[in-house]
Amino acid sequence: MSHIVQFAILAGIALLAATVAGVTGFGGAAILLPVLVLVFGTREAIPILTVVQLVGNGSRVWFNRQSINLAVLKWFSLGGVPAAVVGAMIFAKAPLHMLTRFLGVFLILLVLWRHTKHAPVRMTLRRFAALGATASFLSALVGSVGPLMAPFFLAYGLTKTAYIGTEALTTVIMHATKLVVYGQNSLLSAKAVGVGIAFGPVMVLGSYVGKLVVERLPECVFIVVIEVALVAAGILFLWRE
């Protein structure tokens, strides 16, 4: 397969991933990561994905900037930044298989829990510090934890553009921190940066298309879409080698 054809296929998948993430706030990494692993290998795929996600989430921040909840961002970052540093430092030697299986089971059970009489307690601002620490640490290891964060943002009451924009900005900070540590530990190559930036325009376009879709979705339908995506991501985590 020629490099041009390979890039065209990857660009098409990246566009789909960015559009899905633009609608649900996550899912893009789950779509893109298996393909990147197949083409570049696991150790290169995670840094490449981090660069791609940084661009994609950055564009979602811009398109939804007027709805961002800065208080949530502050508390999330309080726990998220140091945890991202620790997670990125141990990424090179971490056994990932058991962790991804655990995430898959957790996501599916979380959706089922939302439909029982024991609904999750409402999130408070201070609890976002713990969420930030957990999500950022796991993100440094497995590359994709958007599905893990979604139920907690929804439990706080953020929906549609407020959820998409706020979650995207917390993710930008998380990925930027990881990239610094990856670079300091020789995990971020020029190739990874180049490939990630090359997909930038596609990610921006997908984010824009996703915003147009979100603005036309009734809130009740939006929640259903999120939960379906959560179950799908959980199954993918369980299936992924």
Which one has a higher pLDDT value, 105 or 166?
Answer: 166
Instruction: Give residues with Cβ within 8 angstroms of 180, minimum separation 6.
Output: none
- Does the pLDDT value for residue 199 go beyond 80? yes
- Does the pLDDT value for residue 92 go beyond 70? no
Q: What is the DSSP letter of 241?
A: -
Confidence at 33, pLDDT banded by 50, 70, 90: confident
For residue 79, the model assigns a pLDDT of: 94
Task: Report the percentage of the chain scoring pLDDT > 70.
Answer: 83
Question: Is the CB of residue 51 less than 8 Å from the CB of residue 196?
Answer: yes
For residue 149, the model assigns a pLDDT of: 83
Alpha carbon distance 115, 122 (integer Å)? 15
Confidence at 219, pLDDT banded by 50, 70, 90: low
For residue 224, the model assigns a pLDDT of: 76
Which one has a higher pLDDT value, 36 or 76?
Answer: 76
Question: Is the CB of residue 101 less than 8 Å from the CB of residue 240?
Answer: no
Looking at residues 10-20, what average pLDDT do you find?
Answer: 83
Confidence at 97, pLDDT banded by 50, 70, 90: low
Say which amino acid occupies 140.
A
CA distance between the termini of the chain? 24
- Does the pLDDT value for residue 119 go beyond 60? no
Q: What is the pLDDT of residues 224-235, one digit of tens each?
A: 776 777 787 778
Highest mean pLDDT: which range of 4-8, 127-131, 163-167, 234-238 = 127-131
Looking at residues 123-140, what average pLDDT do you find?
Answer: 89
For residue 20, the model assigns a pLDDT of: 80
Looking at residues 92-108, what average pLDDT do you find?
Answer: 68
Highest mean pLDDT: which range of 39-43, 75-79, 105-109, 162-166 = 75-79
- Does the pLDDT value for residue 102 go beyond 80? no
Q: What is the pLDDT of residues 157-171, one digit of tens each?
A: 888 889 889 998 998
For residue 175, the model assigns a pLDDT of: 85
For residue 114, the model assigns a pLDDT of: 65
Helix axis angle for 28-40 and 42-63, nearest 10°, is 150
Three-state SS annotation for 157-225: CCCHHHHHHHHHHHHHHHHHHHHHHHHHCCCCCHHHHHHHHHCHHHHHHHHHHHHHHHHCCCHHHHHHH
